[in-house]
Amino acid sequence: MTSLNQSTELAAPGLHGESEAIDTALEYTRALDGRALDEWLRRAAARVGIPVFIESVAVPFLRRVGDEWYEQRISPAQEHLASSTVHDIIVETMRACARENSAPKVVVATMAEERHVIGAALVGAAAAMEGWSVVYLGADVPAADIARAARISDARVVAVSIVYVDEGERVLREVQMLRTLLAGDVRLITGGSGAISLARGISSLGVPVESSVGGLFAALKA
């Protein structure tokens, strides 16, 4: 594959700018060029700003990578490289936006047996940029431990990412348990492709499902 020109400028946001950024990132992913991928995505984030980067570059890039992996056009190693690179950038952003303890707190995690943490990291970064103090627990956290963290930190919101739902009933039971264990004035928000697929069942528990980063921003402002 012909090497890409590292001096290429990221197109301005809007029109086809983000699409071209994603295409270039995918080329670096195919080449397993982690250094170039990291530099390119960081340049994209610096040029368009983190909020636009999350919604218009990072999320669609990861969706594209997932589709390519599903169609067996990229390998698991390439998919892991892309996910881990985006995750590292997003977590660094979240930590750079760390707020004072007086800021409202949100606990962010994935449910028990859910090890795909990139969605939770995106949620945490989005919350940090909205002025929240983020308690980021990461992946595979049982409902009781999430609720305990919310109680100790005096969190106003708990946001959980659900991606895979091979056992939908188990996931719904975990969400129900978490809602029961949380104080009544603590809001619980779910998101991710798995949450969307279980939206009817989750909504019946009185728990909202956000289908986009934009929806998450709106929920955090509510």
Q: Is 133 found in the same domain as 46?
A: no
Q: Is 212 found in the same domain as 121?
A: yes
| 6 in a structural domain | no
CATH number of the domain at 202, please: 3.40.50.280
Q: Is 203 found in the same domain as 135?
A: yes
Q: Is 148 found in the same domain as 125?
A: yes
Question: Containing domain of residue 214, as a range?
Answer: 105-221
- Residue 210: pLDDT above 80? yes
Residue range 97-148, pLDDT digits in tens: 767 777 899 999 998 988 888 888 888 888 888 888 999 999 999 999 999 9
Q: Is 58 found in the same domain as 147?
A: no
Q: What is the pTM of this model?
A: 0.80
> What's the CA gap between 202 and 85, in Å, rounded?
31
- Domain-terminating residue out of 45, 69, 96: 96
Q: Is 172 found in the same domain as 87?
A: no
Distances (CA, A) of 173 to 28, 35, 143, 208, 209: 40, 41, 10, 15, 16
> What's the CA gap between 137 and 146, in Å, rounded?
8
- Domain-terminating residue out of 96, 114, 135: 96
Size of the chain, expressed as the number of residues it contains: 222
Label residue 195 exposed, middle or buried (CB < 10 Å: 0-12, 13-18, 19+).
buried
Q: How many domains is the chain partitioned into structurally? A: 2
Q: Is 92 found in the same domain as 110?
A: no
